[in-house]
A and B are shown apart, each in its own frame.
Chain A
Amino acid sequence: MPKDSGIGASSKRREDVRFLTGAGNYTDDINVHGQAHVYFLRSDIAHGRISNLDTSAAESMPGVVRVFTGKDFEGVGGIPCGWEVTDKHGAPMQEPAHPILAQGKVRHVGDPIAAVVADTLAQARDAAEAIDLDIEELPAVLDMKAAAKDGTTLVHDDLKNNICYDWQLGETDNAKVDEVFANAAHVTSLDLVNNRLVANPMEPRVAVAEYSRGTEDYTLYTTSQNPHVIRLLMCAFVLGLPEHKVRVVAPDVGGGFGTKIFHYAEEAFCTFAAKACNRPVKWSASRSEAFMSDAHGRDHVTNIELALDAENNFIGLRTNTYANMGAYLSTFASSVPTWLHGTLAAGNYTTPVIQVNVKAMFTNTVPVDAYRGAGRPEATYQLERVIDKAARELGADPIALRRQNFITQFPYDTPVALTYDTGDYNGTMDKLEAAADLAGFAARRASSEANGKMRGLGINCYIEACGIAPSNIVGMLGARAGLYDAATVRVNATGSISVMVGAHSHGQGHETAFPQVVAEMIGIDESMIEIVHGDTSKIPFGMGTYGSRSLAVCGSAMVKATEKVIDKAKKIAAHLLEASEADIELKDGQFSVAGTDKSVAWGDVTLTAYVPHNYPLEVEPGLEETAFYDPANFTFPSGAYACEVEVDPETGQVSIEAFTAADDFGNIVNPMIVDGQVHGGIGQGIGQALLENCAYDENGQLLSASFMDYAMPRADDVPFYGVDHSSQTPCTHNPLGVKGCGEAGAIGSPPAVVNAVIDALNSGGKAVDHIDMPVSPSRVWAAMKG
């Protein structure tokens, strides 16, 4: 029987009611009395020198409060990067300045040049048109391989070249790697592109800032996944403000997917301008503005080689990747192609020798940073595509080839710096084979062929590293932040509980799932517990939500704080029951003395904590505890996915006929929410595989800058998905045994789709071994025509 409350129950989401009735409180719904509006004049040229910038006409336009340019930000800090990668020669990465408003040069379409603050947005926009601007155009640096050559145009004049870093992980002895490949019975090589994407949460970014001259306090409302991180970066590195005078609030946030992790220039601008103008300042991005200012995702160009012995065992893997950083380093950009990507190169397999090479490149494009999965989808895609190609070349069954090379003993130290704690890759594959009815595929293919369609089956596995930690290790790897999280459990006198958590919920359902855990631990109703998040003035500290970390890291902090609360409550209960603390048991909200019928209810103990008349003298009154939790290791969710497609031989149109996911997330708190997370990830993965592409022309113009040009997946592009989460090997090092589920779908699904398309084409006699994503009808059609 499924549980109806607590851990393991599909409790309905309490946050839904406000979202379903129009009562949510998103940042754009916040209007502060007396606010002015800002409109950013952005570069429409990819690369150039500002030769003339005259704002005088704009300043006298109706309603204009003030016009800002780069000059106003001289002496103010730039946007910092949160991770310093060390290259393979031991040198720190090249780290260019990232100004709030352009300082003499523009480096991508969308680079902000000036900002007009006016009484209304329409007035600000009108005035921006009166700014006299001339830009002396320079050649745009776009192709990553060309950008790496000596003597090419520099994106940043003060850097020695366009290479941010040249990084390596795994085997450092090139001769040893060469020897493995020279002695291999078979080598499969594949060149592929992991297409540039735009995260496109449905809510565009917004910032509203206010400043009080009376108290010198600032408040910034912003669309963020991690308000404390924004406060820290903005105060310490950009504006030089004391943190205790700055409150950052991320209220209801309409999706993030990574792109709302980062500290953006517009947040710092509004905070700066609120003081400079002595008025609240609001900025709301249009969707077109989002396309040219939100950090993009992916954009890797890779060669991957897999070496196999005569028995089809994987014996070596080598990758060479160019990773696009865009024009500036976004907050976590440098970590994505390195520690979030190279470390996953082993995948689910025992490959003993692995070498990962990554050149990170500056180009005249929008900065690129983490997007759902962040490095792990790129690692998974290249590995699972090259394995599929190897299977086809060798005539091997793609599932059998994978099973033969699975890691089966845990813990397992990979050659690329990770230790997987648990997993059951064969067991998970068994679940997939059953859930996807792979035995019935031949009949379904025959049916498709009878209808004139080619049908393909694509299989892949994935492993991901979630809950990035521990802080001392990531510090050694270059992280400029800790990666713990925090929670405060505040018990009220009458027994209800507020839990202040550092994780931020922007679709993940924390407000429902987190109380399930505390309710289970104490044995009280979930409705007595409320989660408070997203406001630096209300929560102790928090690193926010990304990397599928919320429950694994912040949830663990919440468990630790709840344990402290229970320990203290037991002392109080022992006093009330005149028993030894060691004999007190807590079950179903009752403290009882073991082996007796003496008990006292949760609410009586909490009331006593705040009305301490009959109270143990050695115990402080009150009942509130905080815990910070720094994990011992990453968590390692894994899974096996299957996709079935039909390809129309006349048009190249691909349709997804079935998609099945078998995931091992360890223990699961709310199965309904977990399934929903996987559905959403699969939707985005299918989008990447078939539809989405962020495209620039040869001059650096952004061609896909609206939903008219960038193909988002729509309801009729996708089927119902099958999901199976019954394979569960709990995480060994966090108290809940949870692994994280937010990114899995987006990591695991693109290779399944592409593998299925290639399988379909080959079944129809088309000897096609690869098509780059998005696998659009025109690309499929061209591949079929050879």
Chain B
Amino acid sequence: MTQVSMTVNGKSVSGDVEGRTLLSGFLRDHLSLTGTHVGCDTAQCGACVVHVNGGAVKSCNMLAVEADGAEVGTIEGQAATDGSLNTIQQAFQDHHGLQCGFCTPGMVMSAAALLKENPRPTEAEVRKYLEGNLCRCTGYHNIVKAILAASGQDVSSIAAE
């Protein structure tokens, strides 16, 4: 067992983990932050995307010990402390960008990382950026629309909500 310490959603946390414990497992099993989901075992689906030191990372593809000392952000830290949704979360609700909700935490975290580096992406840039996030429910239509809307762009000409 190895002790790891990190900051998660602004709070200092620590725990004893096996060397093989993944960051996703540490978040879910040790910290009970179950909003980070695990949908595959080959780093393809992106349901587990979190922010590590400001960048989007698939937490199923990183050992907990690798995140020792890091600043980690998860879906649980995205809304304001009073529970109100942030701009991206609100856009996902406004534009029906989620159905079953399982891929949603990863989508929101990836979208946040995208808009941080590219505040007004084109449709093609959004689609390209989401290559690492699978959704089986929405056909991506309303996810792409929601992210474009969250970037402040007019989406009213895009067919149907």
- Decide if A and B are genuine partners: yes
A287 touching B102, Cβ below 8 Å: no
| Minimal Cβ-Cβ distance residue in B for A708 | B42
A201 touching B136, Cβ below 8 Å: yes
Residue interface bits A91-107, CB-to-B below 8 A is 1, else 0: 00000000000000000
Residue interface bits B119-161, CB-to-A below 8 A is 1, else 0: 0000110111011011111111111110000000000001111
Query: Do A707 and B131 contact each other (CB < 8 Å), given the known contacts A10-B161, A506-B100, A679-B141?
Result: no
Residue interface bits A439-465, CB-to-B below 8 A is 1, else 0: 000000000000000000000000000
Which has the most chain A C-beta neighbours within 10 Å: B37, B94, B99? B99
Shortest CB-to-CB span from B124 to chain A, Å, is: 7
Binding site for A on B (CB under 8 A): 18, 20, 28-29, 33-42, 44-45, 47, 74-76, 78-79, 83, 85, 89, 92-94, 96, 98-105, 108, 123-124, 126-128, 130-131, 133-145, 158-161
Query: Do A21 and B102 contact each other (CB < 8 Å), given the known contacts A202-B47, A286-B41, A715-B126?
Result: no
A720 touching B101, Cβ below 8 Å: no
The stretch of A43-51, A248-256, A524-532, A628-636 in contact with B is A248-256
Which has the most chain B C-beta neighbours within 10 Å: A10, A200, A672, A715? A715
Shortest CB-to-CB span from A389 to chain B, Å, is: 28
A and B contact pairs by CB, cutoff 8 A, 23 listed: A12-B94, A20-B101, A21-B78, A21-B85, A22-B76, A23-B76, A202-B136, A204-B39, A252-B101, A254-B39, A254-B103, A255-B137, A506-B100, A507-B101, A683-B136, A683-B139, A707-B40, A707-B134, A712-B134, A715-B126, A716-B127, A716-B131, A720-B145
Shortest CB-to-CB span from B114 to chain A, Å, is: 11
B159 touching A15, Cβ below 8 Å: no
Tell yes or no: A473 within 8 A of B by CB: no
A-B contact count (CB 8 A): 203
Interface size (A, Cβ < 8 Å)?
Answer: 62
B130 touching A716, Cβ below 8 Å: yes
Q: How far is the CA of A15 from the CA of B102 in the complex (A)?
A: 12
The 3 lowest CB-CB distance pairs between A and B, nearest first, are A22-B35, A683-B139, A19-B101
| Minimal Cβ-Cβ distance residue in B for A681 | B139
Residue interface bits A11-41, CB-to-B below 8 A is 1, else 0: 0110111111111101011010000000000
| Minimal Cβ-Cβ distance residue in A for B33 | A22
B39 touching A22, Cβ below 8 Å: no
Partner of B45, one of A253, A287, A721: A287
Shortest CB-to-CB span from A198 to chain B, Å, is: 11
Partner of A23, one of B35, B41, B96: B35
9 extra A-B contacts, CB within 8 A, seeds A13-B93, A19-B101: A24-B102, A203-B37, A676-B137, A679-B138, A680-B137, A680-B138, A716-B127, A716-B128, A721-B159
Tell yes or no: A782 within 8 A of B by CB: no
Shortest CB-to-CB span from B115 to chain A, Å, is: 15
Partner of B40, one of A122, A254, A287, A684: A287
| Minimal Cβ-Cβ distance residue in B for A685 | B139
Q: How far is the CA of A253 from the CA of B37 in the complex (A)?
A: 12
B161 touching A672, Cβ below 8 Å: yes
Q: Cβ of A720: which chain B residues have Cβ within 8 Å of it?
A: 123, 141, 144-145, 158-159
Q: Cβ of A287: which chain B residues have Cβ within 8 Å of it?
A: 39-42, 45
Residue interface bits A245-271, CB-to-B below 8 A is 1, else 0: 000000011110100000000000000
A680 touching B74, Cβ below 8 Å: no
Q: How far is the CA of A201 from the CA of B102 in the complex (A)?
A: 9
A707 touching B44, Cβ below 8 Å: yes
Q: Cβ of A19: which chain B residues have Cβ within 8 Å of it?
A: 98, 100-101, 104-105
A507 touching B79, Cβ below 8 Å: no
Shortest CB-to-CB span from A624 to chain B, Å, is: 30
A20 touching B100, Cβ below 8 Å: no
Which has the most chain A C-beta neighbours within 10 Å: B35, B105, B137? B137
B139 touching A201, Cβ below 8 Å: no
| Minimal Cβ-Cβ distance residue in A for B141 | A679
Q: How far is the CA of A671 from the CA of B29 in the complex (A)?
A: 39
B139 touching A16, Cβ below 8 Å: no
Q: Cβ of A699: which chain B residues have Cβ within 8 Å of it?
A: none
A200 touching B136, Cβ below 8 Å: yes
Shortest CB-to-CB span from B60 to chain A, Å, is: 10
Residues facing B in A199-226 (CB within 8 A) are 199-204
Query: Do A21 and B35 contact each other (CB < 8 Å), given the known contacts A15-B101, A715-B127?
Result: yes
Tell yes or no: A714 within 8 A of B by CB: yes
Which has the most chain B C-beta neighbours within 10 Å: A199, A202, A714? A202
Q: How far is the CA of A19 from the CA of B89 in the complex (A)?
A: 10
A20 touching B140, Cβ below 8 Å: no
| Minimal Cβ-Cβ distance residue in A for B140 | A715
Q: Cβ of B108: which chain A residues have Cβ within 8 Å of it?
A: 20
Q: Cβ of A506: which chain B residues have Cβ within 8 Å of it?
A: 100
Residues facing B in A676-703 (CB within 8 A) are 676, 679-684, 686
Q: How far is the CA of A288 from the CA of B38 in the complex (A)?
A: 12
A715 touching B104, Cβ below 8 Å: no
Tell yes or no: A508 within 8 A of B by CB: yes
Q: How far is the CA of A682 from the CA of B159 in the complex (A)?
A: 14
A202 touching B36, Cβ below 8 Å: no
Q: Cβ of A713: which chain B residues have Cβ within 8 Å of it?
A: 139-140
Q: Cβ of A508: which chain B residues have Cβ within 8 Å of it?
A: 99
Tell yes or no: A482 within 8 A of B by CB: no
Q: Cβ of B103: which chain A residues have Cβ within 8 Å of it?
A: 202, 254
| Minimal Cβ-Cβ distance residue in B for A435 | B159
A257 touching B141, Cβ below 8 Å: no
Q: Cβ of A507: which chain B residues have Cβ within 8 Å of it?
A: 99-101, 137
Partner of B100, one of A23, A201, A673: A201
